């Protein structure tokens, strides 16, 4: 439809119809819909139900075909519904959790994953996914770090943009869906790492560290944006006119649909900025929130607010037009079923190609934290005991893969047996995933584990460990310990797993820990005991095969930490891009009056960017094409990388820049680029990056986004702690 036709359509609609376009009802109001937030009290009339223009969390080709057909027949202008849901790390074929996808440092793989998700979801009738989440995260206590791609603004931006490209294509391509960027803004900065908590950020830090990743997704053409639950500068985002109108729309140029998060309009009452639902509706629409997700505020109160002159009818027109434009962009007026297709749904979901893509992404996301005496890879001749509650767990998809099914997961034990045969392998759970005393509120451990005889399970594991050459310990946190509303004050492994580790280490010195988690954990105790640690995260449907291939060296781990593993929870929040302080700690513990902890290091156990593989690399010093950089020109920074090990391997080279002196304090280092190179043993290759003045800009003392002349240090190395550097001057 042409814009003029859309406007004509809008002008022929009643006020109730227009408001209906601004409403998204939770799927559980219909049969088969999922619920992903607190159930609200809707008490809809026939007419309200008939006019509400969108559903959340309903999927399935035949179900949505029927719903769409019946709805359109009853709608006065036969305007189609738009279906949205959370397709976060895959639809039915689950990919690794987003934090793990960040660890790939491979936007191409992340884009492919989003495309696979879009193909499956669009066949099942979905039009929009609530992804990417581009929230900056610095605090591993926050359960939603698993949904982000990590602690770095630049990496997050690359990944968010890749997801948008993957989901959307150009939106007319078959198998695409629209993307919705979230949670705008600053949600990941929750105080104390507690979900839904307040965020306290300076305007400068918001702009420097938080907005760039959102901006990258918008620049990639992301169709929608979602508000965040938190306050920023004491104003809840969903009522923050400055944030939504001045920053998001005017500065960042966003012209699409802005939707609230689940019930966030109604929650303005809990925040204490609205006295009732009508006041909340007024605040939100005036802030620029087009759609009200899963709250009764717009549908129940907006009509009266407009009729009594409290809310301008222009705001309703603007919001409704944007929703109609989105429906039009998706082609729903021409074909309200879009790519919904029962046959495609059957054929595409969990097809071999999609499983293979998920496996490749999982392999690229594993991070080898340490590997003493080349404990990994395993050899087929060794006797290996695979022990721990994750050795045969089906719960590998993470709590946001809401449409993935555990029965479709290929677990580690099955994959190992298929790949290696039973001869040199033995298996035992050793202990439950969580201690019975640490049961998660609202979630039950699998029954078998609840009834596990703890001592007998431990003894069985110890005797297998004794008889083996090496032990693979599959440990980790319960999948429900991460995700929304899963903040934790203690991020160590459950006591029963640490006891299992102790007992196994007593009888076998070759212990390899495979760690399943949705956040960086405090593993400093475990770190001293294990010969090797491979972080598997929550690797998705094909987690088992990806791991068995990696453990036996058919694939090599190449992932790099997208978020540091802290030394202990007391360091949080933590990020490598911290500012220079007046009293920096230089590592000399004899110095008293410096910025440091007395009882633990300042630096994390494993830093951002860290990850080993099955070979080793040597870096040459950094070469610069010039030591002067003029505005409008560029210089090249390069390094020669040599494979010094005995296996072929892939190295991810990272470019960091430090601004030596600025009008405001500058970070010690910031990631500005990354690239990978694959080398045979003994082979060397050059990796180069172009540096331009634009890459050196920041929000200066006058709040102008600009660069300042002076000295800059360029680092090229394997992680954020690299000191391999050279300097140039910007003039």
For ligand BGC, the binding residues (CB under 6 A) are 36-37, 56, 86, 130, 182, 261-262, 484
Minimal distance in Å, beta carbon 428 to ligand BGC?
A: 38
Minimal distance in Å, beta carbon 727 to ligand BGC?
A: 32
What is the C-alpha separation between 79 and 299, in angstroms, rounded?
17
Minimal distance in Å, beta carbon 264 to ligand BGC?
A: 8
Looking at the Cβ atoms of 133 and 695, the one nearer to ligand BGC is: 133
What is the C-alpha separation between 515 and 715, in angstroms, rounded?
30
- Considering the candidates 261, 290, 522, 719, report the single residue annotated as catalytic: 261
Instruction: Please name the residue that has the structure tokens 């969108």.
Output: 54
What is the C-alpha separation between 415 and 411, in angstroms, rounded?
6
- Find residue 427's DSSP bridge partners: 386
Cα 185 off chain centre by? 15
Looking at the Cβ atoms of 227 and 613, the one nearer to ligand BGC is: 227
Please, are residues 431 and 452 in contact by the beta-carbon 8 Å criterion?
yes
Instruction: Please name the residue that has the structure tokens 């550097």.
Output: 725
Quote the radius of gyration of the chain (alpha carbons, Å): 26
Looking at the Cβ atoms of 2 and 592, the one nearer to ligand BGC is: 592
Minimal distance in Å, beta carbon 583 to ligand BGC?
A: 9
What is the C-alpha separation between 362 and 96, in angstroms, rounded?
6
> In the annotation, is 261 catalytic?
yes
Q: What does each C-alpha distance from 620 to 2, 637, 640, 643, 707 come to in angstroms?
A: 58, 12, 5, 12, 29
Q: What is the DSSP string of 186-214?
A: TGGG-GGG-TT--B---HHHIIIIIHHHH
Minimal distance in Å, beta carbon 719 to ligand BGC?
A: 30
The beta-carbon contacts of 446-454 under 8 Å, at least 24 apart in sequence, are: 449/389, 454/496
Q: Could you count the other beta carbons within 10 Å of the beta carbon of residue 469?
A: 14
DSSP secondary structure code for residue 238 in this structure: G
Q: Between β-strands 628-629 and 725-730, what pairing exists: parallel, antiparallel or unpaired?
A: parallel
Looking at the Cβ atoms of 86 and 670, the one nearer to ligand BGC is: 86
Looking at the Cβ atoms of 280 and 433, the one nearer to ligand BGC is: 280
3-state secondary structure (DSSP) of residue 215? helix
Minimal distance in Å, beta carbon 230 to ligand BGC?
A: 11
Looking at the Cβ atoms of 41 and 437, the one nearer to ligand BGC is: 41
Looking at the Cβ atoms of 99 and 657, the one nearer to ligand BGC is: 99
- Which helix (H) or strand (E) segment holds residue 552: the answer is none
Minimal distance in Å, beta carbon 182 to ligand BGC?
A: 5
Report the alpha-carbon angle 153-483-605, nearest 5: 55
Residues assigned a catalytic role? 261
């Amino acid at each position: 439809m042409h814009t003029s036709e859309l406007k004509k359509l809008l002008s022929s609609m009643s006020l109730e119809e227009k408001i209906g376009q601004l409403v998204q009802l939770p799927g559980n109001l219909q049969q088969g819909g999922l619920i992903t937030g607190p159930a609200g009290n809707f008490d809809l009339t026939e007419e309200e139900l008939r006019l509400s223009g969108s559903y959340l969390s309903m999927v399935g080709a035949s179900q949505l075909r029927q719903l769409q057909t019946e709805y359109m027949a009853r709608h006065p202008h036969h305007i189609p519904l738009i279906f949205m849901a959370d397709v976060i790390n895959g639809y039915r074929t689950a990919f690794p959790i987003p934090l793990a996808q960040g660890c790939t440092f491979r936007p191409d793989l992340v884009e492919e994953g989003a495309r696979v998700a879009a193909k499956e979801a669009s066949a099942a009738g979905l039009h929009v996914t609530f992804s990417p989440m581009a929230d900056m995260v610095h605090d591993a206590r926050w359960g939603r770090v698993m949904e982000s791609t990590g602690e770095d603004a630049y990496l997050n931006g690359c990944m968010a943009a890749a997801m948008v490209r993957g989901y959307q294509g150009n939106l007319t391509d078959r198998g695409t869906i629209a993307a919705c960027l979230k949670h705008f803004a600053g949600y990941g900065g929750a105080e104390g790492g507690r979900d839904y908590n307040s965020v306290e950020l300076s305007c400068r830090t918001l702009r420097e560290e938080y907005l760039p990743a959102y901006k990258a997704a918008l620049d990639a053409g992301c169709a929608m944006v979602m508000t965040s639950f938190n306050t920023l500068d004491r104003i809840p985002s969903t009522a923050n006119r400055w944030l939504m109108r001045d920053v998001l729309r005017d500065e960042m140029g966003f012209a699409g649909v802005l939707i609230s998060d689940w019930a966030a309009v109604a929650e303005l009452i809990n925040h204490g900025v609205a006295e009732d639902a009508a006041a909340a509706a007024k605040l939100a629409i005036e802030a620029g929130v087009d759609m009200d997700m899963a709250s009764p505020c717009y549908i129940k109160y907006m009509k009266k607010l407009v009729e009594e002159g409290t809310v301008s009818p222009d705001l309703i027109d603007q919001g409704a037009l944007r929703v109609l434009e989105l429906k039009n962009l998706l082609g729903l007026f021409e074909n309200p079923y879009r790519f919904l297709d029962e046959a495609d749904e059957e054929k595409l979901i969990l097809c071999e190609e999609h499983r293979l893509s998920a496996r490749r992404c999982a392999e690229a996301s594993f991070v080898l934290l340490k590997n003493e005496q080349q404990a990994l890879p395993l050899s087929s001749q060794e006797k290996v005991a695979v022990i721990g509650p994750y050795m045969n767990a089906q719960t590998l998809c993470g709590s946001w893969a809401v449409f993935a099914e555990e029965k479709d997961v290929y677990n580690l034990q099955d994959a190992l047996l298929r790949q290696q045969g039973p001869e040199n392998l033995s298996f035992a759970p050793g202990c439950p995933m969580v201690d019975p005393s640490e049961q998660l509120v609202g979630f039950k451990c699998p029954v078998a584990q609840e009834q596990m005889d703890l001592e007998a399970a431990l003894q069985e594991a110890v005797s297998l460990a004794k008889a083996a050459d090496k032990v693979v310990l599959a440990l980790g946190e319960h999948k429900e310990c991460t995700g929304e509303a899963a903040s934790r004050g203690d991020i160590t492994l459950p006591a029963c797993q640490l006891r299992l580790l102790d007992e196994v280490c007593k009888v076998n010195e070759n212990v390899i820990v495979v760690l399943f988690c949705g956040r960086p954990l405090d593993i400093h105790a475990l770190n001293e005991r294990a010969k090797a640690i491979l972080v598997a995260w929550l690797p998705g449907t094909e987690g088992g095969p990806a791991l068995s291939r990696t453990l036996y060296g058919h694939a090599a781990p190449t992932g790099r930490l997208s978020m540091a593993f802290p030394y202990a929870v007391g360091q949080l929040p933590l990020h490598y891009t911290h500012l220079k302080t007046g009293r920096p700690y230089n590592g000399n513990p004899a110095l008293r009056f410096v910025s440091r902890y007395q009882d633990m290091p300042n630096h994390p156990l494993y830093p951002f960017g860290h990850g080993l593989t099955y070979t080793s690399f040597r870096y040459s010093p950094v070469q610069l094409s010039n030591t002067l950089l003029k505005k409008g020109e560029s210089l090249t920074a390069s390094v020669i990388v040599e494979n010094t090990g005995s296996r072929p391997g892939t190295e991810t080279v990272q470019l960091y820049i430090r601004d030596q002196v600025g009008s405001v304090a500058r970070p010690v280092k910031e990631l500005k680029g990354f690239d990978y190179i694959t080398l045979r043993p003994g082979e060397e290759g050059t990796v180069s990056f172009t540096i331009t003045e634009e890459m050196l800009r920041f929000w200066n003392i006058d709040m102008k986004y600009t660069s300042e002349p002076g000295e800059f240090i360029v680092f090229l190395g394997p992680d954020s702690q690299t000191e391999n550097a050279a300097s140039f001057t910007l003039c």
